[in-house]
Homo-oligomer: A and B are copies of this chain.
């Protein structure tokens, strides 16, 4: 197989990031299977047409059913709003298409499980785009853990802090509506932390959470693009139906203690997606705002020079460094998407399931739901009970 044909649903923020990944990938990974940018799909005809031209798709359509029924499409890439994931993914799989789905996989655990069942049944390849896994500095953390260089892990703490809705006049965009977004900070940001925890530490046994919607009513939106939008103090208001912030504590199957916080009310933090891991032999700290760096500490360094090292993960020894620029020359947010797509392509080349896939999407949703249940019940919940 030399190339695979992509049909993509969605053309906004994520659609742009995915398109760019397909577009850039062949230049940097010339030996990989080539992703052909066949058809892009969106509901707004003018919007999707412009996106097709701008992003470099060969065709566009406004009906995802058309997309799925075409013979010349191998993979359906779903980055439509979260409430549409399930229907499209299931239909795609049933049509024999492989599925590459943005996170969160679905709005509920039940839906996610149904999606997983279908992709398994149909035998298609499936991947969920937890793109942060594919940050070289994160992959270095993973490597250190896997090689035992951090020892037994005692603590995992993770926080995803944003501040884009602290203004009470920020309008009621779709991300603040439960029926479309599923949840707020929890599903949007917390989901990334949970997947990171699964990737780096392993299964979570039990959780207990708390959440809050600090601003309960907001003006209805008049316009929006990406994460920015405009509202008006005098506009009619609607109820915010998702969480502004969700925190939870967790115990992992391997005994690690976990602490998680996702919030959109951390004034001053544009997008601080961070974790720290403490093991018996060492520790690591990561912050996505400085995504090329990993702070690393080793217990057995010589006594007089122990301290966290600021490792710039652009050296020969780091993932993907051969592909990009010389050591010391950094990459950005968008590169995590390119790396994620290489995993999809390698799975095709090796005829295996990509990782993370729908299993991981379900596991993530299971924890998200367990946290929500623990909030409702005000007590610890076993993840396996869901």
Contacts and interface: CB of A to CB of B under 8 A. Distances in A.
A275 to B, nearest CB: 13
Among A299, A328, A333, residue most surrounded by chain B Cβ atoms (within 10 Å): A328
B164 A327 contact: yes
Interface stretch (A83-91, A100-108, A301-309): A301-309
Contact of A311 (B214, B272, B305, B326): B305
Interface string A253-285: 001010101010111111110000011111100
A: contact size bracket = 35 or more
A180 interface: no
Contacts of A261: 157, 259
Interface in A44-70: 50, 53-56
B330 A291 contact: yes
A227 B290 contact: no
B312 A307 contact: yes
B330 A299 contact: no
12 contacts: A30-B53, A154-B212, A154-B214, A154-B266, A157-B261, A212-B257, A214-B255, A290-B290, A305-B309, A325-B332, A325-B334, A329-B332
Given A27-B54, A267-B283, A270-B315, 13 more contacts: A20-B24, A23-B23, A140-B305, A143-B304, A208-B210, A265-B278, A270-B327, A295-B307, A303-B315, A303-B316, A304-B318, A305-B311, A325-B333
